[in-house]
Homo-oligomer: A and B are copies of this chain.
């Protein structure tokens, strides 16, 4: 029996196929936050994005992708996200123990010139074959290649929805259209959430926004309308509003490893602003397993309002 909150959330996606609704419900109902409408997810694509030593040497158990599956299961996360190789290596062994997002595009950092545009590294067929609940895809608004990414996402989304999968979009502004500071500016992050919504994402991941405003045309409106952006909670509230007035699941990434106090403070801001949860990678798998689980449970309690 679904909770009222899960039923309400599903009602926002009334245009989708029953298979997609089922898989979205599986994610919302799984783990310690199951049924609350909040989520804490475990993503691990850093081996591909930053290299194995930078990602896993701080906690060498992480060289093995099975470690991440087990961590996600033991900590009671809602869902685990990873690139195709890692999912394929473990999906049979842990079949059904935790919902999965197959990350379908990735970038490595052995070459790093030009505007960002990841490689497509998996398919909807892979996600189905491996028993995943969702596909994951990163877009970089602000890149000269943004339209290429939007079009790749569009095609994958159409196929994924037609086959009952959920679509999760990492919407990370970056590229020559933006300043470095602008990548997390409040106007830019809100815009990035809107773009992901309009492209059909069910769950949108953005970075916690700062109070910086990047675009002059936007600044005029923020000032004229006195849109509150002073606190993280204010800014999260604005981003959530920018995602179909709160009717899309917007969650926030954790960024580089930091102190526990900083982590918890950020989570409290996200929770206060109405964010639907967090996606915590390096801050969890680069800690010792028992420490990571304590931290993740503490975060889950914040989202559960405990």
Partner of A113, one of B108, B177, B245: B177
Are B141 and A244 in touch, CB under 8 angstroms?
no
Query: Which segment, of A25-33, A188-196, A272-280, A289-297, faces chain B?
Result: A188-196
The residues in A between 98 and 156 inclusive whose CB is less than 8 angstroms from any CB of B are: 106-114, 117-123, 125-126, 130, 141-144, 146-147, 150-151, 154
Q: Which residues from chain B contact A54 at a C-beta distance below 8 Å? A: 217-218, 221
How many copies make up the complex? 5
Known interface pairs A194-B51, A218-B53. Does A118 touch B147 (Cβ–Cβ under 8 Å)? yes
Q: Does A242 have its Cβ within 8 Å of any Cβ on chain B? A: yes
A284 to chain B, nearest CB (A): 18
Partner of A190, one of B52, B141, B224, B238: B52
Are B191 and A241 in touch, CB under 8 angstroms?
no
Known interface pairs A126-B158, A158-B126, A221-B57. Does A215 touch B147 (Cβ–Cβ under 8 Å)? no
Q: Which residues from chain B contact A150 at a C-beta distance below 8 Å? A: 119-121
Q: How far is the CA of A48 from the CA of B176 in the complex (A)?
A: 19
Q: Does A222 have its Cβ within 8 Å of any Cβ on chain B? A: yes
Known interface pairs A123-B154, A200-B84. Does A89 touch B244 (Cβ–Cβ under 8 Å)? yes
Q: Does A197 have its Cβ within 8 Å of any Cβ on chain B? A: yes
Q: Does A258 have its Cβ within 8 Å of any Cβ on chain B? A: no
Q: Which residues from chain B contact A111 at a C-beta distance below 8 Å? A: 141-144, 146, 175-178
Q: Which residues from chain B contact A192 at a C-beta distance below 8 Å? A: 110
Q: Does A2 have its Cβ within 8 Å of any Cβ on chain B? A: no
Partner of A15, one of B92, B120, B177: B92
Q: Which residues from chain B contact A238 at a C-beta distance below 8 Å? A: 53
Query: Which segment, of A35-43, A58-66, A259-267, A298-306, faces chain B?
Result: A58-66
Q: How far is the CA of A13 from the CA of B88 in the complex (A)?
A: 8
Q: Which residues from chain B contact A84 at a C-beta distance below 8 Å? A: 154, 198-200
Are B57 and A225 in touch, CB under 8 angstroms?
yes
Q: How far is the CA of A63 from the CA of B243 in the complex (A)?
A: 8
Q: Does A73 have its Cβ within 8 Å of any Cβ on chain B? A: no
Q: Which residues from chain B contact A257 at a C-beta distance below 8 Å? A: none
Are A147 and B119 in touch, CB under 8 angstroms?
yes
Known interface pairs A53-B242, A57-B221, A108-B195. Does A12 touch B89 (Cβ–Cβ under 8 Å)? yes
9 shortest interchain CB distances as A-B pairs:
A111-B177, A64-B245, A85-B198, A119-B147, A52-B242, A119-B150, A14-B92, A51-B191, A63-B245
